[in-house]
A and B are shown apart, each in its own frame.
Chain A
Amino acid sequence: EAGVAQSPRYKIIEKRQSVAFWCNPISGHATLYWYQQILGQGPKLLIQFQNNGVVDDSQLPKDRFSAERLKGVDSTLKIQPAKLEDSAVYLCASSFPHGTSGLPSYNEQFFGPGTRLTVL
């Protein structure tokens, strides 16, 4: 089974520039997550998609971050403009929710290799 794919693996930009990251989840996984992991910290959820709809984006800094999953498969995360404090690893994860009563149920998350962003 192919894993979660992310690109690029590394990116170095100057502050105020824009950057975009791409994620392709495991085939059939309806739920997709973007996390930000700053060095020395655990991953912080930025946004969660269920198919092409946003489930939770409460921690996404919407003045500069945006994400979309138009066809409910792959997703892009954009930062515009970038700040120094955005330097982090951006992790994408996917899971296949299942449950009763039509409600999604948590299942194991599979993580991609991450994109390491350095903002100078």
Chain B
Amino acid sequence: EDKVVQSPLSLVVHEGDTVTLNCSYEVTNFRSLLWYKQEKKAPTFLFMLTSSGIEKKSGRLSSILDKKELSSILNITATQTGDSAIYLCAVGDTGNQFYFGTGTSLTVIP
């Protein structure tokens, strides 16, 4: 059965800390891996990764895919309280089916 596992399930850090969120997957016919940020509303798109070893960066956030290890990490540097959210990892297959992990809940304390 295809699945996506995220770790840790939850994380509490202080402002300014750097965090690393993990996503591992077992999905047949992998096409892409996506990271989303979910606050109180719907998930908002962060990154889409399709190639191994190429880092995607947006401000303080960055992500990289390792197809050999079937995993990805999402890094957030110099965290701010506005980064508090659930971070979702999703994997899409060649049939345009998507599998979501349960998410990592990040809380940034001032």
Interface size class of A (residues with CB under 8 A): 20 to 34
Closest residue on chain B to residue A108 by CB atoms: B45
B22 within 8 A of A: no
Contact A110 B45, CB 8 Å, known A42-B88, A42-B102: yes
Interface residues of A in 1-57 (CB under 8 A from B): 31, 33, 35, 40-45, 48, 50, 55-56
Interface size class of B (residues with CB under 8 A): 20 to 34
B58 within 8 A of A: no
What is the interface of chain B mostly: helix, strand, loop, or mixed? strand
A117 within 8 A of B: no
B32 within 8 A of A: yes
A113 within 8 A of B: yes
A97 within 8 A of B: yes
Chain B positions near chain A (C-beta within 8 angstroms): 4, 31-32, 34, 41-45, 48, 88, 90, 92, 95-103
Chain B residues within an 8 Å CB radius of A106: 31-32, 92, 96
Contact A43 B92 (CB under 8 A): no
Contact pick for B42, options A44, A104, A114, CB 8 Å: A114
A76 within 8 A of B: no
Contact B96 A31 (CB under 8 A): yes
